[in-house]
Chains A and B, each alone.
Chain A
Amino acid sequence: MKPNVSDVLLELSGLVARNAAPDIPPADRAGALGLTAALLAMASRTWDDAAHQLVIENRALRKLLHLEGDESDFRISALTAENARLRANLIDCHIAAEARDPELEAAIWTELVVSTERRLTQGSPV
């Protein structure tokens, strides 16, 4: 998810602290904290799953693209950077497959569908 969850949590902690001040107008406080609560709930739901889904997806993409990769760093930031590298490769591979490899193109579409299932959020409209 962009912006990164860790960056957003840090920003929200400051926002909550600012809204703890007694002179904040109630309507402003309600607006700020209502959305903050919604974002915290979304962050909590991705927390446990985030690294697992990135590892699964990165392995699937390496297999599809016949690429090697480093799996020594399992921090979410490192896994996300590797995911971005692989998905950039996937775009190039998809363009090439559209021109001359229907079987590979179909496999890429299948992976793209699965990638959205990995990223499903609660209450997603689609």
Chain B
Amino acid sequence: MSLEARIADYVATQMPEASDIVVDRLSRISGGASRETYRFRLSWLEHGASKSRALILRRDPPASLIDTERRIEFEAYRAFYGSTVPVPEMLWLEESSAPLDYPFFIAAEIEGFQAAPALLWTDPYLPSHGKLAERKWTILGEIAKADPVALGLTSVMPNVAPGDCWSRELGYWEQVLDDDQTEPLPIIRAAIRWLRANPPPPPKTIALVHGDYRTGNFLFDTAGNIHGVLDWEMAHLGDPLEDLGWSLNPVWSFGRNLAGGLVSNALAVSVWERSSGLKADPGALHWWTLFNCVKGQAIWVSSAKAWIDGGNREPIMVYPPWALQNAQDRAVLKVMGRL
């Protein structure tokens, strides 16, 4: 049975009032190394009326560069739907492998906007950088100041004490490196030693951390507006500076020596501070930026390992380690003042 027909069968179990359900225009969206992402159109009859909707399917792959719980991603999206943090509407989460071979969720598609960073360095997007940066770090500030308890996220995400944020994250990603590295990583190991010897102060509040907030993971238009923040699969509770540090990871400068390829680090931080109402202690932010270089390398190394082990032989698993592993080492050197 085709994937279209299997999706239609599944949707029928979720929409008992619908009949004549049809799935068409199914196509895979390139990228998406952590989940397989498809767009499709759903059409159905409801009380005699013909309806249709553009939807997104996010399905676990056989092996991924990031091991995460799709329920956490689903609930993070759902928590922010309708808020000042724009996200797509979540519809159904399926944790069983029976309907489509692997767990998945289905969401509404936010149509008509772009996510590819390469477009931003061309007309007509070039004049939008200032506005886009303002929106980008304002939204990140909104995420930082959101109350995870009020959002209902503390029941689906492991809690963490403020003093344990840094050690939990560093320990997790160091273990990923220990498990998945296929060659020695002298620069990353030196960075980890420095991080352990110079821990940051605890955050004043525990926040929701998106975990992958960067240019490329939100939908933008030519005017510099952001219409959807995507890729919440690494969301967790922690230090709000963690997200800010990830957004300043030099690999996300796209060779432009600017935060996210858009504006100076100082401007990005000032927008975030104004929006979040928090102060980004420079020493702590430096720690979290370097930490995120280690985290990035762990992700690229895991991608290579998943390909080498044969769990996932998609070309997308090769591209990140080939394109970014050395750049991530250079990012470490830059953040440590060695480059």
A residues contacting B by CB (< 8 A) are: 1-3, 7-8, 11-12, 15, 25, 27-28, 30-32, 34-36, 38-39, 42, 80, 83-84, 87-88, 90-91, 94-95, 98, 108-109, 112-113, 115-116, 119-121, 123-126
A-B contact pairs, 8 of them (CB 8 A): A1-B322, A28-B27, A80-B183, A87-B184, A113-B339, A116-B330, A119-B326, A126-B331
Report the minimum CB–CB distance from B305 to chain A (whole Å): 8
Q: Say which residue of A12, A34, A84 sits within 8 Å of B30 (CB atoms).
A: A34
On chain B, the residues within 8 Å of A108 by CB distance are 186
Chain B contact residues, majority secondary structure: helix
In the complex, are the beta carbons of A116 and B187 less than 8 A apart?
Answer: yes
In the complex, are the beta carbons of B186 and A84 less than 8 A apart?
Answer: no
What mask results when residues 275 to 289 of chain B are scored 1 for a CB within 8 Å of chain A, else 0? 000000000000000
On chain B, the residues within 8 Å of A113 by CB distance are 333, 338-339
Other A-B pairs, 6, CB within 8 Å; known A1-B325, A3-B318, A91-B186: A35-B315, A38-B315, A116-B330, A121-B327, A124-B330, A125-B253
Report the minimum CB–CB distance from A9 to chain B (whole Å): 10
Give Cα distance in the complex from A39 to B187, angstroms: 25
In the complex, are the beta carbons of A125 and B327 less than 8 A apart?
Answer: yes
Chain A contact residues, majority secondary structure: helix
Query: Is the CB of B323 closer than 8 A to any CB of chain A?
Result: yes
Q: Say which residue of A3, A30, A34, A109 sits within 8 Å of B307 (CB atoms).
A: A3
In the complex, are the beta carbons of A2 and B325 less than 8 A apart?
Answer: yes
Give Cα distance in the complex from A123 to B251, angstroms: 11
Give Cα distance in the complex from A30 to B325, angstroms: 26
On chain B, the residues within 8 Å of A88 by CB distance are 184
On chain A, the residues within 8 Å of B315 by CB distance are 12, 15, 32, 35-36, 38-39
On chain B, the residues within 8 Å of A94 by CB distance are 186, 189-190
On chain A, the residues within 8 Å of B328 by CB distance are 126
Q: Say which residue of A11, A30, A34, A87 sits within 8 Å of B186 (CB atoms).
A: A87
In the complex, are the beta carbons of A91 and B184 less than 8 A apart?
Answer: yes
Q: Nearest chain-A residue to B250 (Cβ)?
A: A126
What mask results when residues 23 to 34 of chain B are scored 1 for a CB within 8 Å of chain A, else 0? 000011110000
Q: Nearest chain-B residue to A88 (Cβ)?
A: B184
Q: Nearest chain-A residue to B189 (Cβ)?
A: A91
Knowing A109-B338, A125-B250, say if A2 contacts B186 (CB, 8 Å): no
Q: Nearest chain-B residue to A28 (Cβ)?
A: B28
Give Cα distance in the complex from A27 to B37, angstroms: 13
In the complex, are the beta carbons of B321 and A3 less than 8 A apart?
Answer: yes
Report the minimum CB–CB distance from B310 to chain A (whole Å): 10
Residues of chain B from 216 to 253 with CB closer than 8 A to chain A in the complex: 250-253
On chain A, the residues within 8 Å of B326 by CB distance are 116, 119-121, 124
Knowing A35-B30, A84-B183, A125-B255, say if A8 contacts B331 (CB, 8 Å): no
Q: Say which residue of A1, A11, A30, A84 sits within 8 Å of B184 (CB atoms).
A: A84
Residues of chain B from 305 to 338 with CB closer than 8 A to chain A in the complex: 307-308, 313, 315-316, 318-319, 321-331, 333-334, 338
Query: Is the CB of B159 closer than 8 A to any CB of chain A?
Result: no
In the complex, are the beta carbons of A35 and B321 less than 8 A apart?
Answer: no
Knowing A90-B186, A112-B187, A126-B327, say if A35 contacts B319 (CB, 8 Å): yes
On chain A, the residues within 8 Å of B28 by CB distance are 27-28, 31
Sort A-B residue pairs by CB-CB distance and give the 8 closest, nearest first: A27-B27, A35-B315, A87-B184, A126-B330, A119-B326, A31-B30, A2-B304, A88-B184
